[in-house]
Amino acid sequence: MNAGSRSGPPQGATATLKLLFDITREFSSTLELPAVLGKVLSLTVQSLGASQGSLFMLDGRGEVVRYFLARQHLPAEERKRVVSVVMEKGLAGWVFRHRKGAIVEDTRTDDRWHIFDNDEKPVRSVLAAPLTRRGMMTGLVTLEHQQPGAFNRLDLQLLTAIAHQAAIAIENAHLFTQVSDERDTVASILNTVNDAILVSDGREHRLAMLNPAAATLLDLRPDDAVGKPLGDLLPDSPLLKLLDQAAEEQAQDAVIELAGGGHHHVRVHDIPRVGRVTVLHDITHFTELDALKSEFVAAVSHDLKNPLGTILGYAWMLDDEAGLTELQRRYVTSILQSVQRMQKLVGNLLDLAKIEAGVDADREPCSVQTIIANVVNQFAARAGEREIKLEVAVPDELPAIVANELRITQAIGNLVSNAIKYTPEGGRVVIPAKHTAESIIVGVIDSGPGISSVDQSRLFQKFSRVGGQEMAEIAGTGLGLAIVRSVVESHNGRVWVESQLGKGSAFFIQLPLDAALANETSESGPS
Ligand code: ADP
């Protein structure tokens, strides 16, 4: 890079300070990296009265990653070669290796300067200084002059001070470029994903950002909508309740149906310094398929129910016959066991279909103590056979819940049945219960084999059976927990598991209290 006329360095400390101040201000007037680099070089050349200069930017390993060369007229390939030669055996390499500035009074007598054969305007004196940030050399600048002895110690001091400011300005520009590149990458990802994404903040959930998919799905115009509370933009939307809950509990997951139809899986996450991020994933297609599949399974199960009843009836009659041989009796026993298993499966499938279809939506006040007592009665014998201690830890007073008693009994029963089934003989199963102002929580805690966190994520899906070979040998349909989830969700509650392999499992059901009944307490049942 070449300067105009030689203006020479300033005279006196005040003039030097003013020059430094002006240069620093100029450096930081832009954050565009190429513009900053151009400014650094031209202002340095000008302030020190050089005829031309070069600027190299280095990476952490000392490789030249960007450069402005005094010999601009050379073709690109040749410039590259010049950079590599001067880093290897020229003054640039010397400054890099010694991490300090240099004055070359006369290039003809100082072999730190590499003389190229085809130099049109031979350089006679040079000044060079490293650019350093946080102890790392990030670049170097060299100023050249056609006259020998053009630079002195004061010039080197000034160049070192300018280089210090330049390194800061270059680092700022670098960071700015990095941040804006990252922002552009994130923006293009957000603009191309099919999932609708919203970012909101504050208690009013003011919309801070939305991607095109969200604008289309929610029929919002970004220019109008950004900055407004979501309550005003989407009144009555089920999203609002989720956002309120997420504000309290950090994250929320749910499936919602939007006003225009269609089911979406929604995840709301509170991300510090970003806001409340809501992602809506369209699952309409899957819910339709799932509904079709459930209808099909329910129809087939219904048709299987009667013939199975008939087979079971005849198998029992056969079992009562006196004249059967040993082998015949073994066959009949095997038929009976298989048919009973099939009946259980069909029964479970029909139950699931009914719960999902909302057929048995009757609700009445019921006592959780009574439900737990009934479940314990039902499973006491089985627990006894396996020498498993079945304990209840329920407070004397618990508010009544408004629920379908049969289904809640079935849900808690399924958890207790699993706990007894999967816990090795001699183990322990505890059923605790407690209540908060809004809900009742019932747990089923066992000392069994535990469940890995990977398996926990798919435990509540239909037909999901997890664990190793030993678990697979224990009879089951993989529908018990799917029923629990359907029952609990149809009561607006939630179910979850806390477990670690080898340390037992704890399943919890949380059911909301009906506000009107929350103050009445029922005292029946065991404590
Ligand atoms: P299943 O009829 O197979 O018991 P569930 O839906 O009730 O079906 O349970 C799904 C799977 O979850 C089971 O096959 C088992 O692998 C695992 N599981 C359920 N409860 C427990 C438990 N208390 N301890 C360990 N594993 C369990």
What CATH number should be reported for the domain holding residue 450?
A: 3.30.565.10
What pairs with residue 52 in β-bridges?
2, 144
Query: Above 80 in pLDDT, residue 492?
Result: yes
pLDDT score, position 228:
94
Tens digit of pLDDT for each residue in 128-180? Answer: 999 999 889 999 999 999 999 999 999 999 899 889 888 888 888 889 988 98
Pair (45, 134) in one structural domain: yes
> From the CB of 460, is ligand 1 less than 6 Å away?
no
SS3 438: coil
Pair (298, 349) in one structural domain: yes
Residue 433 lies in a domain: yes
What total of structural domains would you count in the chain?
4
Residue 6 lies in a domain: no
C-alpha distance across the termini of the chain, in Å:
89
Pair (278, 311) in one structural domain: no
- Residue 374 domain boundaries: 364-524
CATH code of the domain containing 300: 1.10.287
Residue 424 lies in a domain: yes
pTM over 0.75: no
Which of 298, 328, 357 is the C-terminal boundary of a domain?
A: 357
The answer to whether 3 and 127 have CB atoms below 8 angstroms apart is: no
pLDDT score, position 11:
65
CA of 418 to the centre of ligand 1 (A): 6
Pair (17, 135) in one structural domain: yes
Query: What DSSP element (H or E) covers 40?
Result: helix 33-47
The fraction of the chain above a pLDDT of 70, given in percent, is: 95
Report the nearest-CA residue for atom 16 of ligand 1. 466
> From the CB of 449, is ligand 1 less than 6 Å away?
yes
Say which residue the tokens 């102890």 belong to.
135
Pair (403, 477) in one structural domain: yes
Which of 220, 253, 282 is the C-terminal boundary of a domain?
A: 282
Report the nearest-CA residue for atom 18 of ligand 1. 418
- DSSP 8-state class, residue 517: G
Report the nearest-CA residue for atom 8 of ligand 1. 478
Residue 294 lies in a domain: yes
Residue 2 lies in a domain: no
Pair (42, 121) in one structural domain: yes
The values of phi and psi at residue 124, to 5°, are -110, -35
Which of 183, 209, 237 is the C-terminal boundary of a domain?
A: 183
pLDDT score, position 350:
86
Residue 251 lies in a domain: yes
CA of 463 to the centre of ligand 1 (A): 10
Q: Are strands 401-403 and 521-522 parallel, antiparallel or unpaired?
A: unpaired
CA distances to 369, 370, 493, 517 from 522, rounded to whole Å, are: 8, 9, 20, 10
pLDDT score, position 333:
92
Tens digit of pLDDT for each residue in 81-102? Answer: 999 999 999 999 999 999 999 9
Name the region of 301 (left: φ>0; alpha: ψ -120 to 50; beta: rest): alpha
> From the CB of 351, is ligand 1 less than 6 Å away?
no
> Ligand 1 test: best mutation among 453, 457, 465, 487, most atoms within 8 Å of CB?
465
CATH code of the domain containing 56: 3.30.450.40
Query: Above 70 in pLDDT, residue 191?
Result: yes
Pair (175, 148) in one structural domain: yes
State the helix-helix crossing angle for 13-27 and 153-192, rounded to 10 degrees: 10
Tens digit of pLDDT for each residue in 193-215? Answer: 999 999 998 888 999 999 999 99
Pair (336, 395) in one structural domain: no
Pair (103, 122) in one structural domain: yes
CA of 487 to the centre of ligand 1 (A): 17
Say which residue the tokens 């949380």 belong to.
510
> Ligand 1 test: best mutation among 349, 458, 481, 500, most atoms within 8 Å of CB?
481
Pair (217, 320) in one structural domain: no
Burial of 23 (0-12, 13-18, 19+ CB in 10 A): buried
Residue 517 lies in a domain: yes
Pair (331, 265) in one structural domain: no
Burial of 194 (0-12, 13-18, 19+ CB in 10 A): exposed
The answer to whether 269 and 277 have CB atoms below 8 angstroms apart is: yes
Pair (346, 240) in one structural domain: no
> Residues 445-464: what's their mean pLDDT?
90
Residue 1 lies in a domain: no
> Ligand 1 test: best mutation among 346, 416, 418, most atoms within 8 Å of CB?
418
